[in-house]
Amino acid sequence: MKKFNLPVILLNGIVLLPNNTLKLEFDNKKSNNNVIEMSLSFHDNYILVISEYKKNKTKIGVLSKLENILQLPNGNTRVDLRGIRRVNVIEFLNMDTDEPLESIVSEIEPQKIDNEILIINKLKKELKKIVQIVPYISNSFLNIVEKETNLDKFTDLVVSNITNDKERLLEYLNNTNSLSRAEMLLKDIYDEQEKFKIERNLDLKVKKEMDESQKEFLLREKMKFLKEELGDSSKESEIDKLKKRINDLDCPKKIKDKLTYEMNRYESCVSMSPEINIIRDYIEWLLCLPWNNYTMDNENLKQVKKSLDESHFGLKEVKDRIIEYLAVKKMSNNQNGSIICLVGPPGVGKTTLAMSIAKAINRNFVQISVGGLRDESEIIGHRRTYVGAGPGRIITSIKKAKSNNPLFLIDEVDKMNSDYKGDPSSCLLNVLDKEQNKYFSDNYIEEDFDLSNVLFILTANYIENIPDPLKDRLEIINLQGYTEYEKLDIAIKHLIPKIIKKNGLNSDYVSIDNNTILKIIRNYTKEAGVRELERQLDKIVRKIVTQIVVKNIKINKIIITEQNLIKYLGKEKYKYNEKKKEQIGVVNGLAYTPYGGDVLPIEVNYYKGKGNLILTGSLGDVMKESANIALSYLKANYRYYNINYKLFENDIHIHVPEGAIKKDGPSAGIALTLAILSCLTKLKIPSSLAMTGEITLRGHILEIGGLKEKSLGALRSGINKIIIPYDNDISDLPKEVKNNIKFIKVKNFKDVYEVIKND
């Protein structure tokens, strides 16, 4: 047996079989270089490859050849190792030294195998089968082995294509019997086929399971349908309903997208989640808003005017303004202009007129009151992150309106407050501003809602209290208090028919003459508007209805007279045209209050003191200044008015009842001056006289506002003479006022004094 020496390469973990080639890169270690060097120099490029070295156990190596040796720039060496045949390893040399590893090997005798071709053919047949069945075994090697007739070579060529398991490859390597290797190969081919079949079955099972889940889905759908049929409103059926509503909703695309997004969130939420109701509520809000719903305006102006005249007496200015608004809109197809604000005392018909306008022009009507409002989120809502969040009053009302162009009445804009929670009046400005309200954004809704088609009408009692920035944008229309005869007209034409109808009676069932109505107005009410009057008339009719129903009395007609009025309304509440006395130190001023005009008695007393001026009765700064001017003026002119100057050393106390009501303004100037003068000089002042006018330090009397309301209030209180500033115009005062009250115009306080002296 021939022995020879060979340098050795140890491949730890990589298996090189004969008839296979391996590309390797050696690093720049000295030992590697020496082995390669030795092979090239002394062994004609032959080398022994040991795939796995185990001390005393490694008996087989592969005689190989180094080919295509390449020195790389980094100093490494790249080679192709071509396995040639197995050899027996007799001994390893230099195992534990620094010398290149060497071995002593001997050749293995080739075997003779019977039926070698038959075996090869069998293997080929099985190989062809497996490459067809198992997709991950490539068929490319079949060409290479097609013509191979040596079993030894055949097996080595095929093995690496069938398995890449290292242990199995080592078994092939160490098996020197080619027949035995052929059997191994056959077994591996069968195993691979089996493995593949198992995997495929597993896949089929998984697929079947997937089919099962699809089946389950279909069954669930059927169940859902059955539940719906049975009226069981589970979440799924609700989802379907919501989806249908979203689909049917007429709204901008952005809103639809948002709804779809929220719907997906809703669907993915488990029913126990606290968020689910929040999302559900939000979806409901978006679904309920009239994004694209609107009503068509009645543009028949004659019809509108007729309908407004039928519902409300007088109020010409507002009615004309509404007609003008409609006319402009009809011409330009554009809702233009400023916002109308109706200002006037309570009960003059602001709210009901707005309702009638809505009805006449065919708009839906909604109303909010902003009186006492501090927090701007009341108007524009809270963000959804808040617990219990919801939209503000604007969006809530728009939802109620069911159209995006309702008539929107905002009441009491003079009673808003602002504090740390924001300024509701500036927030309201954004709502009303035509430029901005096209993109009105409520904190809760998040998406813009177009308010530009809404017809806003505002109301207030007292113009002075409307915040200035808001006032600038408004078109103020004053609705003044009514005179007695206007009230009488309203009662006959509007209130009585309305009340009788409301109580289900026939119109000729109740008869009430004009004098009786006037008595109610004079002795049972004291107001600028007609709200109290309506209440009193309602009381009468209710009593009649009760008589008929409870006592079952059969009556053809009930006549209300001045005499039997007491039966229905009780004792008179106010005395009218009472005989007034003369008084000292008390003068009637006139005030313009949110409730209409009224008489404002001013009382003055003096007592021993240090010359102080004491003011009580909730007087504002301007009114306090007026009192000081009055006193200074009288001190400066004491001689003219025959005042004992020593009296000014007393304390002078001015009180304006009623103490709890705040009063301000300069118009009480002459009344204050006259009250002090009367007190100090015992000048008698008739109680049927009233006065209004601002006084300067020199005694000049300046023009004042609100004369119509003041004179109406004076008339109600039985005043028959009013001193007014020379510059005030009385031409547009109601006839009734002018017929019953004498107006005396004055330029200077001295004129006032003359009037009193000559009275």
Contact positions toward ligand ADP, by CB under 6 A? 312-315, 346-352, 490, 494, 529-531, 534
Shortest Cβ 318–ligand ADP spacing (Å): 10
**Structure token digits, residue 696:** 């300067």
Minimum distance, C-beta of residue 355 to ligand ADP, in the bound complex (Å): 8
The two three-digit tokens of residue 470, written as one number: 């808001």
688 is catalytic: no
Calculated CA dihedral for residues 22, 25, 27, 33, nearest 10 degrees = 60
Cα 119 to Cα 355: distance, rounded to the nearest angstrom: 107
Task: Tell me the residue type at 215.
Answer: K
In sequence order, what DSSP letters do the residues of 317-358 get, joined into one string? Answer: HHHHHHHHHHHHHHHHSS--S-EEEEE--TTSSHHHHHHHHH
* Chain length of the chain: 759
Q: How far apart are CA 506 and CA 141, in angstroms?
A: 112
Q: Do 474 and 467 meet the contact criterion of CB atoms below 8 Å apart?
A: no
Q: Smallest distance from the beta carbon of 451 to ligand ADP, in angstroms?
A: 23
Give the Cα separation of 268 and 180 in Å (integer): 63
Shortest distance (Å) from residue 489 CB to ligand ADP: 8
Instruction: Please say which residue, 86 or 312, places its beta carbon nearer to ligand ADP.
Output: 312
List Cβ neighbours of 547 (8 Å cut-off, separation of 6 or more).
553, 555
Q: Which residues of 414-426 are buried (b: 16+ CB within 10 A; e: fewer)?
A: bbbebeeebbbbe
Residue closer to ligand ADP, measured from CB, 347 or 381:
347
Q: Which residue, 492 or 505, is less far from ligand ADP as judged by CB?
A: 492
480 versus 523: smaller Cβ distance to ligand ADP? 480
Of the candidates 153, 120, 109, the one whose C-alpha atom is nearest the C-alpha of residue 17 is 153
* Nearest approach, Cβ of residue 314 and ligand ADP (Å): 5
Q: Which residue is nearest to ligand ADP (CB)?
A: 349
Minimum Å gap between C-beta 356 and ligand ADP is 9
Instruction: Select 537 or 652, whichever has its Cβ closest to ligand ADP.
Output: 537
* Contact of 269 with 275, CB cutoff 8 Å: yes
- Catalytic annotation on 222? no
Taking the complex as a whole, how short is the minimal distance between the CB of residue 482 and ligand ADP, in angstroms? 7
Q: How far is CA 122 from CA 129, 259, 727, in A?
A: 11, 69, 132
Active-site position among 65, 710, 711, 717: 710
Residue 298: CA atoms inside 13 Å, Cβ hemisphere, count? 20
Is the CB of 463 or the CB of 604 nearer to ligand ADP?
A: 463
Cβ closer to ligand ADP: 494 or 716?
494
Q: How far is the CB of 566 from ligand ADP (least distance, A)?
A: 25
Give whichever of 537 and 715 is closer to ligand ADP, judged by the CB atom: 537
Distance CA 276, CA 238 (A): 13
- Measured between alpha carbons, how far is 431 from 146 in angstroms, rounded to an integer? 89
Pairing of strands 613-616, 510-512: unpaired
Pairing between β-strand 613-616 and β-strand 651-655 as defined by DSSP bridges: parallel
> From the candidates 667, 678, 711, 717, which is the catalytic residue?
667
Residue 478: strand, helix, or coil: strand
Least CB distance from residue 461 to ligand ADP, whole Å?
Answer: 8
Which CB sits closer to ligand ADP, 350 or 519? 350
Are the C-beta atoms of residues 62 and 84 closer than 8 Å to each other? yes
Measured between alpha carbons, how far is 496 from 491 in angstroms, rounded to an integer? 6
- Strand blocks (E) in 608-713: 613-616, 651-655, 684-686, 689-691, 694-695, 701-702
Helices (H), ranges, 333-434: 350-360, 377-380, 393-401, 424-432
Active site residues: 667, 710
